[in-house]
Amino acid sequence: MTVLDLVVRAGTGIAAGIREITLAAADGRPLPPHPPGSHLVVECGPVRNAYSLTNAGFDTYSIAVLRRSGGSAYLHGLRPGDRLAASPPRCAFAPVATARKHLLIAGGIGITPMVAHARDAARWGRDVELLYVHRPDAGAFADELSDLLGPRLHRVTDRDAFGAALTGALRDQPLGTHLYVCGPGPLLDRVLTEAATAGWPPSRLHLERFVAAELDPGREFVARLARSARDVVVPPGTSLLDALRAAGIDVPNLCRQGICGECRVPVLAGTPLHRDEYLTDDERTGAVMCCVSRSETATLELDL
């Protein structure tokens, strides 16, 4: 697995509790390109977190980090010159090329992939509209977004105003509009529920969770490894990935949050219980992201 060796170029506070960090390749070479909506999985001391890239640069990557605890606190403590390891950019949240219009909905720090979308849309002349809900003191990138989008930016700072703006935004869109939403789980759930009620087909809804959902421990099942004719028991509370690794099967992995796409395993028989944010509906019949997903059936046969 490729790992990028990065160096911190700058760290700047851009809103309450939010720090924008600029990174470059430690060896000074150009960085891998990426489309808007991409993220890096960053090694933050003992943990790995996924962060959306806000810029499109080859010379530098930018991420914006909300200080919570653990990995984000570690990143807030970095200084220019400090080194950081990260995965190459991954993207499961790019703008759809055939969309007639792009409706972006961001909650709080969920604005980060939308900044990349908005910059790219403004650059290439795509029709875009952004609904951004945030705390009154935490409107990161607000001035730039206002310059980029003008009246197509709708900022709200309370729940009622967001509800009204969301209802209007979901109703008043041309056919062929795609919706992209990023933010905390309850906001995502609300947007998806209201969009379904308003008649939006699932194929036009795209989401990016910036915090992995709390997962229940699940039921025990057996992973049948077709190539080696072995059965591996996966107890409740143990991930399929950890059970495979304990059995000596080395599956690549990175985020362990169902986001990066690294731990994908082909499924030959049985029904996966998908809990990731990476696979598309079409991909879900033949694969499972083993860091978070489990099995609906007592046995899940894998091409391992």
Q: What angle do CA 118, 255, 193 make, to 5 degrees?
A: 55
Site string for ligand FES, 235-264 (x = CB under 6 A): ------------------xxxx-xxxxxx-
Nearer Cβ to ligand FES, position 51 or 200? 51
Closest approach of Cβ 70 to ligand FES, in Å? 17
Judged by beta carbon, residue 178 or residue 256, the one nearer ligand FES is 256
Task: Give me the least distance between CB of 255 and ligand FES, in Å please.
Answer: 4
Phi/psi at 163 (5° precision): -60, -45
Helix or strand or coil: residue 152?
helix
Among 66, 118, 131, 291, binds ligand FES (CB under 6 A): 291
**Which CB sits closer to ligand FES, 220 or 242?**
242
**Which CB atom, from 120 or from 262, has the smaller least distance to ligand FES?**
262
Q: Which is nearer to ligand FES, 20 or 276 (CB)?
A: 276
43 near ligand FES, rule: CB under 6 A: no
Q: What would the DSSP string read from start to end of 30-73?
A: PPPP--TTEEEEEEETTEEEEEEB----SS-EEEEEE--STHHH
Report, in Å, the least distance between residue 13 CB and ligand FES. 29
Shortest Å distance, C-beta 54 to ligand FES: 21
The size of the interface with ligand FES (CB under 6 A), counted in residues, is 14
Look up residue 201 and give its two tokens.
């087909």
302 binds ligand FES (CB under 6 A): no
CB of 192 to ligand FES, least distance (A): 21
DSSP state, 28? -
Work out which of 289, 300, 302, 304 binds ligand FES, going by CB under 6 A: 289
By CB atoms closer than 10 A (0-12, 13-18, 19+), residue 223 is buried
Asked if residue 187 lies in contact with residue 133, where contact means CB atoms within 8 angstroms, the answer is: yes
> Which residue blocks in the chain are alpha helix, DSSP H?
71-76, 111-124, 142-149, 159-171, 185-197, 240-246
Q: Give the C-alpha distances (Å, rounded to integers) separating 204 from 17, 166, 181, 224.
A: 33, 16, 11, 35
d(CA 198, CA 210): 25
Looking at beta carbons only, is 76 or 256 nearer to ligand FES? 256
**Smallest separation (angstroms) from ligand FES to the CB of 215:** 12
Residues 64, 180: Cα–Cα separation, whole Å:
19
- The answer to whether the beta carbons of residues 96 and 37 sit under 8 Å apart is no
Cβ at position 239, least distance to ligand FES in Å = 9
Q: Which CB sits closer to ligand FES, 121 or 249?
A: 249
Q: Choose which of 119, 212, 278, 301 interacts with ligand FES (CB under 6 A).
A: 278
**Which of these, 71, 52, 69, lies nearest to 61 by C-alpha position?**
52
The nearer residue to ligand FES, 39 or 206, going by C-beta atoms, is: 39
Q: Which residues bind ligand FES (CB under 6 A)?
A: 253-256, 258-263, 276, 278, 289, 291
